[in-house]
Copies of this chain bind each other. A is one copy, B any other.
Amino acid sequence: METETGIANLLAALSLAVMDRIEHGAREVVGRGGETPAALIVLGYGQGMTNDMLRRILGLSHSGTVRLVDRLVSDQLVERRPGKDGREVALHLTARGTASRKELLASRISAVTSLLDVLSPTETKRLGALIRELLARQDTSEMDRFTICRMCDDTVCTNCPLPTSKKKRDR
């Protein structure tokens, strides 16, 4: 019989394997690690995102985010443009940045499908339904959602299961 903690351990092991593959592929595509790949994906969700918004989504310090953007700019993946508010910087993906982002997302999906496709279509559907339910019932703040979805493929994830507004306080 499988215990509750035994199942937790299996999910943790699977998650580690999944992230190992995703991070490996991401480093091959953009040549950088840490939160840099996630930043590239997040910035593609909406052009002109602010430095500070990016910081909150990635869960980094302020200076860490500035330097991360520095790297993206020096790699010519991102442009800093003046924001509406005179203090803000509007971050925009360059053409090259958009292309890298697309590659990155494709690499990520293929990393997971290669693990997933040992299951039959029926099993896969069942797994998908359970994961969707698991995510849907989490108590996530607005910012938590962005953080969890910071590497999600918006061309693929049509209706995100994560709840939109719950009791948890934002930060």
**A binding-site residues for B, Cβ under 8 Å:** 2-20, 22, 59, 108-109, 111-113, 115-119, 121, 123-135, 137-138, 147-153, 156-158, 161
Contact = CB atoms under 8 A, between A and B. Distances in A.
B119 A130 contact: yes
Given A133-B119, A151-B16, A9 B126 contact: no
Number of copies: 2
Given A2-B128, A13-B151, 10 more contacts: A3-B156, A4-B124, A10-B161, A12-B109, A14-B131, A15-B18, A16-B22, A16-B148, A17-B148, A20-B148
22 contacts: A2-B125, A4-B124, A6-B158, A7-B124, A9-B152, A9-B156, A10-B132, A12-B22, A12-B108, A12-B112, A13-B148, A13-B152, A14-B135, A15-B16, A16-B19, A19-B19, A20-B148, A115-B138, A119-B130, A119-B134, A119-B137, A126-B130
Contacts of A121: 4
Contacts of A5: 109, 113, 153, 156
A16 B152 CA distance: 10
Max chain B C-beta neighbours (<10 A), residue from A3, A12, A108, A133: A12
Which secondary structure characterizes the binding site on chain A? helix
A111 to B, nearest CB: 8
A82 to B, nearest CB: 33
Contact of A134 (B22, B115, B129): B115
